[in-house]
Chain A
Amino acid sequence: MSELWWISAIKGFVIINIVLLTFAYTTLLERKALARMQLRYGPNRAGPYGLLQPIADLVKLIRKESFFPTAAIDIPYILAPVVSAFTALAAFAVIPYGKGWQIWHYHVNGVVANVPISLILIFALGSIGIYGFIVGGWASESKFSLLGSMRTCAQLVSYEVSLALSVLGVVITAGSLSLVHIVHNQAHSVWYVGPQAVGFLIFLISGVAETSRAPFDLPEAEQELVAGYHTEYSGMRWGLFQMAEYVNMITLSGLAITLFLGGWHFPFAHGVDFLGPLWFFLKLLVLLFVFIWLRATLPRLRYDQLMSFGWKILLPVATVNAFVTALVVVWVN
């Protein structure tokens, strides 16, 4: 199913705008949900129920002085948040959000770029995003930033291994690396969260660690390291790092939905599948709420607890999960 290049371009543009809007209102959702779980109101002054708060934050960040430390190395300092934000957004190019539609006589795919190895592409982009954090902290030429970025990247790299291994079970079950095929297969059999429950759990935990969210948010704990790798960033440059973090969160939720929760399909009833993007978005909201719920409930893990958990517990469990899935698939066929 090939489509014209300019339809892909328009689709990409629309998707990026929707993702950025989701990012903005995820910040508001996080503040309000976190507040309600802590028996207080979230922001409720900026607009009705605080709905204009993200716009207020955006205006504040743009008008703030993005200072440039004289000691910072020019090009990597400026490019680091750009790299992180770019890779976080680019992962959305391969996440399917609907089946194809016919608009007039043009065919519009349900995904911006249908690549046969889209799962590997997403992991590759995630790994490149880590470069943004390393380089950002190192190019800031500050002790706190350097230490913070080293810790962040050690954490991210450790949990990336478990992340990749946890989806191996899904790949073996579906027989394909293409996200479109995986979603398609889940419509015909059961959603992979059933047979791959362990994989789903590992994916969620590794995902929370990948995006430096609580309880793994040691890189951003102000009490520990000032602000870690984004200490020397301010204004919109810091805004880009925040955007990279939240869009990573949205991407991982989207990936979890695609791999385990049936993508854009409605459970059981298949007649309403033409509203694919809506079901995808609703599942995304549920998963984002789970991320926020985790942040409200759990205390932070200490760094050595974090690393030992990632290497000594998650990695063996993910490996065993992949191995057992492979055995079961070979035995069934």
Chain B
Amino acid sequence: MSPQPVDTLKGFGVTFKQIFKKPITQQYPEYKRPVYPRFRGRHRLWRHENGLEKCVGCSLCAAACPADCIRVVAAENTPDNRVSPGERYARIYEINLSRCIFCGYCELACPFDAITLGNEYELAEYDRDDQIYTKDMLLAEPIKRVPVADAELYDTPIPYYRSHS
């Protein structure tokens, strides 16, 4: 078979020894590998400190999206219903996460730092309709937090709009 049968037998020894070494697989639900601080996960809509939403419904994010998965319908801010600090707010804001490619263009396009990509990646659902996230789902904090690596370990700077992630 091979011109050096002794080397083949040594190969058998190598595979046999590997049985007794500890496998290097990381078992997922028990151990979750920490993601980097700028990891592009599920989208999050942000508010100002005074409770007004940052999003004004300009739909620049929808225009920038390569997968065309953001739906923005704007409405006017009335004096008794003021949602955002501008003239209008996003009445309907939906992202179809089954179409999103998590590129981050919406985050780059937003002039108000209203939408960023957070760190949550556990987004599995049983039904495709559950993958359409509405505005209140996006405004909310993630239900379960994934481990995030320490930002001090990486010397790439965190931009201002992600400093509150």
**A positions within 8 Å CB-CB of B:** 33, 35-41, 215, 293, 296-298, 301, 309
Contacts and interface: CB of A to CB of B under 8 A. Distances in A.
B18 A38 contact: yes
Contact of A293 (B1, B12, B24, B27): B12
Nearest to B17: A37
A298 B25 contact: no
A293 B16 contact: yes
Contact of B18 (A36, A215, A301, A309): A36
B5 to A, nearest CB: 11
B21 A39 contact: yes
A298 B11 CA distance: 8
Contacts of A39: 18, 21, 23-25
A41 B21 CA distance: 11
Contact of A41 (B1, B8, B15, B25): B25
Interface of B: 1, 8, 11-12, 14-16, 18-19, 21, 23-25, 27
A293 B23 contact: no
A36 B19 contact: yes
Contacts of B19: 33, 36-37
B24 to A, nearest CB: 5
B64 to A, nearest CB: 40
B18 A37 contact: yes
Contacts of A40: 23-25
Contact of A297 (B11, B21, B23, B25): B11
Contacts of B24: 39-40
* Nearest 6 interchain pairs by C-beta: A297-B15, A37-B15, A36-B19, A40-B25, A296-B15, A40-B23
Contact of A298 (B8, B21, B23, B27): B8
Nearest to A290: B12
Given A41-B27, A293-B16, 13 more contacts: A36-B18, A36-B19, A36-B23, A37-B15, A39-B24, A40-B25, A41-B23, A293-B15, A296-B15, A297-B11, A297-B14, A297-B15, A301-B1
Contacts of B14: 297
A209 to B, nearest CB: 11
Contacts of A41: 23, 25, 27
Nearest to B25: A40
Nearest to A297: B15
B42 to A, nearest CB: 25
A298 B1 CA distance: 11
